[in-house]
Homo-oligomer: A and B are copies of this chain.
Amino acid sequence: MPYRIGKYTLALEKPPIILSCASVGSKKEGEGPLKDCFDYMEQDSYFGQNTWEKAESRIQREAVNRALAKGELDPSDIDYVFAGDLLNQCTSSVYGLRELGIPLFGLYGACSTMAESLSLASIFVDSGAGGKCVAVTSSHFCSAERQFRFPLEYAGQRTPTSQWTVTGGGAAVIGRGEAPPFIRAITTGTVEDYGIKDANNMGAAMAPAASATICRFFKDTGLQPDQFDMIVTGDLGYVGSGILLELTEKEGIDIHRQHQDCGLLIFDREKQPEVQAGGSGCGCSGSVLCGHILPQIQKGSLKNVLFIATGALMSTTSVQQGDTIPGIAHLVYLSFNMEDIKFTNPEKNCCVHGGRKGGA
């Protein structure tokens, strides 16, 4: 059963594992540094469909089907799927997954969805509510551009702070087992709003949320950043990452050495300058987690990772009405060993969870 350590963090008593996962990308992702990480890659942005929205549905379906196949699982083996995306009314999730017949909890967390879905799936598995659950998300550059910004035919100029929505997705099957990656803890985000109004600077809007969630995790658990190999945010990009490092440092938490960002990992800003400040979209952190990070934890080249997916929660309507852009960030602690780091709650000044395999 999950149990609380601190105000914002839940530890998972018998850490669920990632049984299998899969990532999907398209042409631009295939030209970036992670080109060898995708389970399925389609050069054509339509993915064989006749609209970009249907292409995004296909991405989500492919991600789930390939994750299931890698785990030698059938849709009927899955108790729940937790899915969401950026499109209005989350249609790429619904249309993408409707044939599977798996009970669905639809989510909206913008680009934080991969961590939100992983969090809920982990709690379901640890509490026994679900035996095996799928967490999945997707995004598509073309469907996002025309929904949130301009028609592509308009060929609008992009500002230096803007980020490039990843055409891709990721799916992970969460269940019981003894093999890594283990899901150790989750820290759930609150809505943070620092008054950013520029919809082309989402990194700045999301950085305060990432900082708040990361600082709460360390306060709740009593752990230190140097106990982690990687603290990876989802899609702050270049601008937001810089702000995050400043904000966390102000709180006395130095994550310079461990910090990476999915939006900076997936594209090479020098060779792909059109991505401007980096990648974004639910599919960015989804595909980087499932294609790049989880496989490294599985083989032990990464031992302890904090995955923090961040979302900018505006709509075109809220922006047009002059409202600011709230952000949210959800954190998932993933590890190679089941319990090599003990959680200690510094406020209670006691160890609330015994380690089994010695220090990290």
- The answer to whether residues A88 and B3 also contact, given A124-B123, A127-B123, A188-B103 and a CB cut-off of 8 A, is no
Q: Mark A32-65, 1 if CB is under 8 A from B, else 0.
A: 0000000000000000000101100000000000
Q: How far is the CA of A105 from the CA of B190 in the complex (A)?
A: 9
Q: Mark A68-105, 1 if CB is under 8 A from B, else 0.
A: 00000000000110001011111100110110011111
On chain B, the residues within 8 Å of A102 by CB distance are 190
Inter-subunit contact B84/A108 (CB<8 Å): yes
Q: How far is the CA of A84 from the CA of B127 in the complex (A)?
A: 24
Inter-subunit contact B53/A103 (CB<8 Å): no
Inter-subunit contact B95/A326 (CB<8 Å): yes
Within 8 A of B (CB), among A305-325: 313-318, 321, 323
8 Å CB contact of A54 from B103, B116, B119, B321: B321
- The answer to whether residues A91 and B128 also contact, given A98-B326, A104-B190, A108-B108 and a CB cut-off of 8 A, is no
Q: How far is the CA of A147 from the CA of B147 in the complex (A)?
A: 13
A105 → B minimal CB distance (Å): 6
A95 → B minimal CB distance (Å): 7
CB of A254 closer than 8 Å to a CB of B: no
On chain B, the residues within 8 Å of A315 by CB distance are 87-89, 91
Inter-subunit contact B313/A129 (CB<8 Å): no
Within 8 A of B (CB), among A97-123: 97-98, 101-110, 116, 119-120, 123
On chain B, the residues within 8 Å of A98 by CB distance are 191, 193, 326
The main secondary structure of chain A at its interface with chain B is mixed
On chain B, the residues within 8 Å of A1 by CB distance are 1, 127-129
Within 8 A of B (CB), among A163-216: 188-191, 193
A139 → B minimal CB distance (Å): 13
Query: How many A residues touch the partner, as a band?
Result: 35 or more
On chain B, the residues within 8 Å of A94 by CB distance are 191, 313, 326, 328
On chain B, the residues within 8 Å of A128 by CB distance are 1-4, 127
On chain B, the residues within 8 Å of A193 by CB distance are 98
CB of A10 closer than 8 Å to a CB of B: yes
On chain B, the residues within 8 Å of A189 by CB distance are 103-104
On chain B, the residues within 8 Å of A323 by CB distance are 54, 95
Q: Mark A280-324, 1 if CB is under 8 A from B, else 0.
A: 000000000000000000000000000000000111111001010
New contact pairs (11) apart from A91-B317, A103-B188, CB-CB < 8 Å: A2-B128, A53-B317, A89-B314, A91-B314, A95-B318, A98-B191, A101-B190, A104-B189, A106-B116, A108-B108, A127-B127
What are 18 A-B interface contacts by the 8 Å CB criterion? Answer: A1-B1, A3-B128, A4-B129, A54-B323, A87-B317, A88-B89, A89-B110, A89-B313, A90-B108, A94-B326, A94-B328, A95-B318, A97-B191, A103-B189, A105-B107, A106-B107, A106-B108, A106-B116
